[in-house]
Structure 1
């Protein structure tokens, strides 16, 4: 059986053959035992609901990415059909806590799918959703597993007729999962997801671009072959060593996005003809760039140095475009082998290891501009692969309403803070809350991924206790400010009432009820009568000052 083959025929193979494939390159017998037992759990259910991706296909896809055995095992046990077959407690007992945490996170993401339909069309909510996913998962490998499951789901859906389910899954993919793959730097999965989702959503546009690519494929391949041959010759002449030069595939969704954004036709694209150069060292990258610009006229507007200025997801490469033979534009990407592997596999590259080799410190980097951080720790677990742990958004929490709307709050926020983030009036009328269906006190501290239902009364009745920091009702200055403003308004009304009583009493005592109060207000440099009453009520204006005026 071909190792890279991924299709439903896996279900028809002998179990031992599947296990052997998944255990390839595993030197630790204990790891293979784990994989065998996980496959054993799935095997009796392998023909159930074939419309959904199976654990075996996901496991093979992940194995092709070079992940560790825990990720392979977790992908099998995360399959939909095993949700009610094996509990998290049983998984922890049989396969260890790391696998249980991974399966728990994937199951949480599966459940999340049911409540996001109403928010993915809102760009801000979609971003909050992506952040929440990365904040909730305790191990980033769970996101990788979920991405592979989604890719497998799309492969099935694209073969079926147009349906609401197909459209919903495709939209969700472009809003949530493809950006997550990009944020983790896994270009290989991102591109395939985007093309499949785009094919579901806009089959006509997909087909037009696919046909345009195919129509001139032979001419384009011949042109690229000639360009590559000439470039290799020039690189050897300049004594550049250990390089690879090859044409790179174009992805239909990225072509469509560029055409749509720039409002240009397929023929006007610079990077339909594209070449990649891979070298060993960063200095070689710039040396190759010099060779390219010396031999072909470059297009200044198309040059980007992502080595000196990496993208937010850690992507590094030199991009340039030059005018080749016949006046045709050719895009050239230049990068090191490490950069190339990171661009293709992202965080998955952490597990593309050789036995006993520690991680490359270059992979320890910020993966986006929102303080997401992937921290790697070399852990020797009976010869298994390095474990990747995460500290994502450690200063933020993401919680959602029962309708799926997501709010971003500072770490330490309570359910009462959440009520004020939803709406000021909801906060004022808050009298209780449920978190994930369980009633909690107003001081309950939120965790990312929680579903929060606010219980309210008919009339607003904030408590002054809420402003007492020692009681722990409110963590955010935003919510405290709203409570203070409410009491300020209520106090202002009371001050006006008290001041009018004082005013009437003093005028009656002085037998001066005929005096124009408005003129008195102006003498005291107050805007109007209500301001006079409020000042008297607050004692900002004394009785003596009022009488003398």
Structure 2
């Protein structure tokens, strides 16, 4: 559902004669900046031992450093760091964090230096300021790369000290509160998208639900203002019909609990417009169909009282099936604990009730800040203690580039979760839609790399099976196991995807290295030359390569021709015709023939001129019916690949080396072999069953290799001869339906 459709649903659900929205109120007068003594008093109100001198010096230094600088709102720039510091006092952070908030923009936007900050305020504050400082000065290739690189640096900084993230989130919150002052709509939208995709999920990860909700709603107002206004209009309409509804519901719930002898503090609230729209979009329902526009929190003294209150409420009201969640026995990874249930409550209203202790409530409101170390006179601030930060650092280690890291991180930040168990009973939280492969990598990277099979509740399953809450997952490993390219198509965690990509990159590089070395040696023999690696070092700079290995890999993947290397080493080899014998001379006319070239008589390929040699690539093994492209390689036949070949896509082949090709449907096409990876149970007759199934579908097994084996399962590589993609798909479907087969995947390269 798009935001526009959501707005229409809200409008349709409204009364026939909706109450017109009141005129926009006049702009509120700007709040005066918090004075120095007010800030200090705020900090000392919750931390009597706060470093008052540090706060005073940081306040004065920042005010002088920013001087006459102005923000887009017209306010003095100094108002911004003071507001950020004020936000952090609401989280009850320590003096170093508040000082960092005051100083966080001085290094970037003024003449102050980190050395000066360290000399005046100490190493801790200087390190925090360095971690929070924006990185706009980096010379990066694109705005997307800049965003990814900034986030990468932020992650590294907050892994050393989680306070960096807290200051950064407060900084982003104040920027979002003043976003409307920015005149450039594209810039506003970019900031709002970044807030929605990165900073709000980060706030959720550290348990700061209130901060997350405000960030999301502010971004929602910028990105989809019409949908937000429609929801606000409907909420206003509901309030006018039931002015004191919340008070009546609270009073009745309190009475029900008091009769049962349970003393509780209860209060109610409306959900934010963004959370309402998000649920409408996810469930594709109208505003009227929502069951929990209002949420009521019940605060009690102990965990037993939580379950006792739940029993009383369920005994007094009907609960909605499937809407009960126990986050006390199974907390969220960010430490959130509570009981959630939805009931047909007082006045037959559908309401959500959240039951928790007061300590749980403090964690829910303040997240990581609720455990702040100054309470125990210790300074445990290491971000690596948080499992999710360790996992993001693991993604960072194995990502190929900043964009790859950002993509994989968003996968981990953005998902609802399922909770599964290891055979020993350890809890593993994963994104919804996760598979046994994701589970294996969550346990340990080596477990994921060596995974060859999985059991869920004792039953063998395919590795692409989606996990459900409560599943007990056992991973079967083999010392000869390795990630499959097919896994990348179904894993959902960034950690798993980053590790798989790293393995495939390494494997592919080794293949290109061997091929490049072989091609160079062959060409050298033809020219009766002897080439040592020491000689190759002389041509690295003119050929823009860093190492001899990089040079050989470039030759192997086809981005650098052997002839170019030889002629750079031995200029006397250069010929007058320059490209004699090289198919590369025909790259441009071959790339997109128009009109399409007619195939030669009997040729199965459309798009290749008569006489051009070709062969089918062994990495992806295309069959008639596949979308195909041709890879032009100097002095060699055109290589026919599937358009989605993973080897081809990872090699980043220049576009001018690829041909758009097709199959000649006028001819009877020859049978070709496709490679299937089949995982089968180690049972008598399994191989015979597989052979029989393939034969019944008209396929012919021309080669068989047992790739990996364990006492319970085998992985077979089958080369199956077929005449079309349709036939191959029938073979795959029939194999998947065979009792002994747990997975069937086609080799994509």
Q: Same fold (TM over 0.5)?
A: yes
129 and 352 in structure 1: CA distance in 2 versus 1, 3 angstrom threshold: same
Which residue of structure 1 aligns with residue 397 of structure 2?
397
Cα offset, 1:351, TM superposition: 2.8
1:164 aligned to 186, 203, 211, which one?
186
Whether the 8 Å CA contact 2:43–2:92 is kept in 1: the answer is no
Whether the 8 Å CA contact 2:62–2:102 is kept in 1: the answer is yes
Which residue of structure 2 aligns with residue 107 of structure 1?
133
CA distance in 2, matches of 1:295, 1:346: 32
Which range moved further: 258-267 or 158-167?
158-167
- SS for the counterpart of 2:166 is helix
Cα offset, 1:178, TM superposition: 0.5
Matches within 5 A, 1:7-156: 9-11=31-33, 15-21=36-42, 23-28=44-49, 31-44=51-64, 45=66, 47-51=68-72, 54-79=80-105, 83-107=109-133, 117-118=143-144, 133-137=154-158, 138-156=160-178
Which range moved further: 163-172 or 395-404?
395-404
CA distance in 2, matches of 1:34, 1:462: 56
Cα offset, 1:327, TM superposition: 3.3
281 and 18 in structure 1: CA distance in 2 versus 1, 3 angstrom threshold: closer
Cα offset, 1:339, TM superposition: 1.3
98 and 357 in structure 1: CA distance in 2 versus 1, 3 angstrom threshold: closer
Whether the 8 Å CA contact 1:206–1:252 is kept in 2: the answer is yes
Cα offset, 1:454, TM superposition: 8.5
The number of equivalent residue pairs is 406
Which residue of structure 2 aligns with residue 213 of structure 1?
235
2:204 aligned to 175, 178, 182, which one?
182
- SS for the counterpart of 1:99 is helix
Which residue of structure 1 aligns with residue 258 of structure 2?
236
Report the TM-score, using the length of structure 2 for normalisation. Answer: 0.48
- Give CA deviations for 1:43-81 in whole Å, capped at 9, x if unaligned: 122651323772111001101211011100011111257
Which residue of structure 2 aligns with residue 315 of structure 1?
336
* 1:254 matched to 2:275: yes
Whether the 8 Å CA contact 1:109–1:146 is kept in 2: the answer is no
Cα offset, 1:19, TM superposition: 4.6
CA distance in 2, matches of 1:55, 1:198: 24
Whether the 8 Å CA contact 2:306–2:339 is kept in 1: the answer is yes
7 and 462 in structure 1: CA distance in 2 versus 1, 3 angstrom threshold: farther
Which range moved further: 90-99 or 230-239?
90-99
Compare relative contact order (CA 8 Å, sep 6+) and give the higher one, 1 or 2.
1
Cα offset, 1:88, TM superposition: 1.9
Whether the 8 Å CA contact 2:509–2:553 is kept in 1: the answer is no
Cα offset, 1:153, TM superposition: 0.5
Which range moved further: 295-304 or 46-55?
46-55
- Give CA deviations for 1:316-348 in whole Å, capped at 9, x if unaligned: 111111112443211111111111111111111
CA distance in 2, matches of 1:407, 1:455: 28
Which range moved further: 329-338 or 44-53?
44-53
Whether the 8 Å CA contact 1:116–1:404 is kept in 2: the answer is no
Whether the 8 Å CA contact 1:199–1:206 is kept in 2: the answer is yes
What CA RMSD, in Å, does the superposition of the two structures yield over aligned residues? 4.4
CA distance in 2, matches of 1:192, 1:153: 12
168 and 21 in structure 1: CA distance in 2 versus 1, 3 angstrom threshold: same
- Give CA deviations for 1:431-477 in whole Å, capped at 9, x if unaligned: xxxxxxxxxxxxxxxxxxxxxx99578984159xxxxxxxxxxxxxx
Whether the 8 Å CA contact 2:195–2:216 is kept in 1: the answer is yes
CA distance in 2, matches of 1:219, 1:366: 49
- SS for the counterpart of 1:300 is coil
Cα offset, 1:141, TM superposition: 0.6
14 and 191 in structure 1: CA distance in 2 versus 1, 3 angstrom threshold: closer
Cα offset, 1:224, TM superposition: 2.6
Whether the 8 Å CA contact 1:101–1:139 is kept in 2: the answer is no
80 and 114 in structure 1: CA distance in 2 versus 1, 3 angstrom threshold: farther
CA distance in 1, matches of 2:397, 2:384: 22
14 and 70 in structure 1: CA distance in 2 versus 1, 3 angstrom threshold: closer
Whether the 8 Å CA contact 1:183–1:367 is kept in 2: the answer is no
CA distance in 2, matches of 1:421, 1:8: 57
CA distance in 2, matches of 1:98, 1:75: 13
Cα offset, 1:87, TM superposition: 2.0
Cα offset, 1:92, TM superposition: 2.2
Matches within 5 A, 1:417-428: 420=505, 424=509
59 and 8 in structure 1: CA distance in 2 versus 1, 3 angstrom threshold: farther
CA distance in 2, matches of 1:91, 1:119: 29
420 and 297 in structure 1: CA distance in 2 versus 1, 3 angstrom threshold: closer
Cα offset, 1:112, TM superposition: 7.9
Whether the 8 Å CA contact 2:39–2:86 is kept in 1: the answer is no
Which residue of structure 1 aligns with residue 302 of structure 2?
281
188 and 70 in structure 1: CA distance in 2 versus 1, 3 angstrom threshold: same
CA distance in 2, matches of 1:245, 1:333: 10
CA distance in 1, matches of 2:511, 2:96: 45
CA distance in 1, matches of 2:134, 2:342: 44
1:342 aligned to 363, 383, 394, which one?
363
CA distance in 1, matches of 2:389, 2:70: 39
Whether the 8 Å CA contact 1:77–1:103 is kept in 2: the answer is yes
316 and 37 in structure 1: CA distance in 2 versus 1, 3 angstrom threshold: same
- Give CA deviations for 1:484-515 in whole Å, capped at 9, x if unaligned: x9xxxxxxx9xxxxxxxxxxxxxxxxxxxxxx
- SS for the counterpart of 1:54 is helix
Whether the 8 Å CA contact 1:298–1:321 is kept in 2: the answer is yes
Instruction: Mark the runs of 5 or more structure 2 residues left unpaired by the alignment.
Output: 1-27, 410-444, 447-497, 517-543, 555-618, 620-635, 637-701, 704-749
More helix by share: 1
